[in-house]
Amino acid sequence: MEAPRCGVLLLFLHILRAVAALEEKFIISKLGDNAKLSCVYPLGGKFHLNNLRVYWQVADDQEKCSVVHALISGQDNESEQCIHFKNRTQLLWDRLENGNFSLLLLNVSQSDERTYKCIVLQKTEYTRVIHQEVVVLSLAASYSQPVLSGPIRNTNSSGEEEVTFSCRSSNGYPEPNVYWINKTDNRHLPPSELKITPHADGTFSVFSTLKIKATSDMQIECSIENKLLQENLSANYTQEKANNYSNTESQKDLGQKTRGAQAAGIVSVVILIAILAVFACWLRGWRPSQLMSHQDVPLNEDKGEFNSPV
């Protein structure tokens, strides 16, 4: 009875090992980066590369070409490698003998977003599979810091004053979640418009608007969430900012008026100086003429008196 029990136990352990080996690993990489697809033999030890075959392939039976990378008897074999992966894959050569069969996939793009399978075979007396792993590669790109514009004031059909905010962000992947939040009570507001635009490089731009009733204490937040990267970028507007803006504009107007008054004063002084200069010149011309009129009166040399004018 002891032997059958041992056999059942060994079979059970073998099944558990097979299930554990095929458990999926999830990896997130940014667009354009190099993604490392992990495949490590769990029991350690030293391997002779001449006795190994390492296959990386796309784990999709519908693919016409599934070979991502192949190592046979210690040499890379590119004869069956899919053209999509040509010159874009590398094994970690300094770690292969220690059981690290991970693959480096260079310059990843959306077309690399797949499920991959690593299969390691060892040849001793016969060839057998000693390790398998499944890796799911997901790609992402960070969105730019959102830009919040507004408020633009307008009147709706019912005659109430409302304001419109707009929020935009770009160069992210995958499609984001967009949230409008009233920060006075942390209430989520439904967007009036949401437009997500794809680009040639596979990234997205997002544009959203929000129309709400105008209040005296508006505090609005636009939030762009990239769920894969667990990134949440936000932009905020508060009424205080608007008041500060108005004060700044008033200060600018006041400064312009002050500079205008100063310029007008300078011009007035220049004109006054010019008038005084002309007046001074006129006085100089008038006084000599008066002196000459007195000098022209003849003297009576014999009597030492002035001759009276006729």
What pLDDT shows up at residue 281? 67
Query: What are the tens digits of pLDDT across the range 179-188?
Result: 999 999 999 9
Average pLDDT score over residue span 57-77: 91
Residue 144 and residue 171: Cα distance in Å, rounded? 6
Q: Using DSSP, state whether 290 is helix, strand or coil.
A: helix
Give the residue extent of every domain in the chain. 20-140, 147-240
The answer to whether the CB of 89 falls within 8 A of the CB of 105 is yes
Topology of domain 20-140, CATH:
Immunoglobulin-like (2.60.40)
Its pTM surpasses 0.75: no
105-132 exposure pattern, b = at least 16 Cβ within 10 A, e = fewer: beebeeebbeebbbbbbbeeeeeeebbe
* 27 phi-psi bin (left φ>0, alpha ψ -120 to 50, beta other): beta
List of residues 6+ apart from 49 with CB closer than 8 A: 71, 73, 74, 96, 97
Query: What are the tens digits of pLDDT across the range 126-152?
Result: 889 999 999 999 999 999 999 999 999
The answer to whether the CB of 214 falls within 8 A of the CB of 151 is yes
Least confident of 16-30, 100-114, 118-132, 218-232: 16-30
What pLDDT shows up at residue 296? 47
Right CATH for 147-240 from 3.40.50.1820, 3.30.420.10, 3.40.50.720, 2.60.40.10: 2.60.40.10
Q: Do domains 20-140 and 147-240 have the same CATH topology?
A: yes
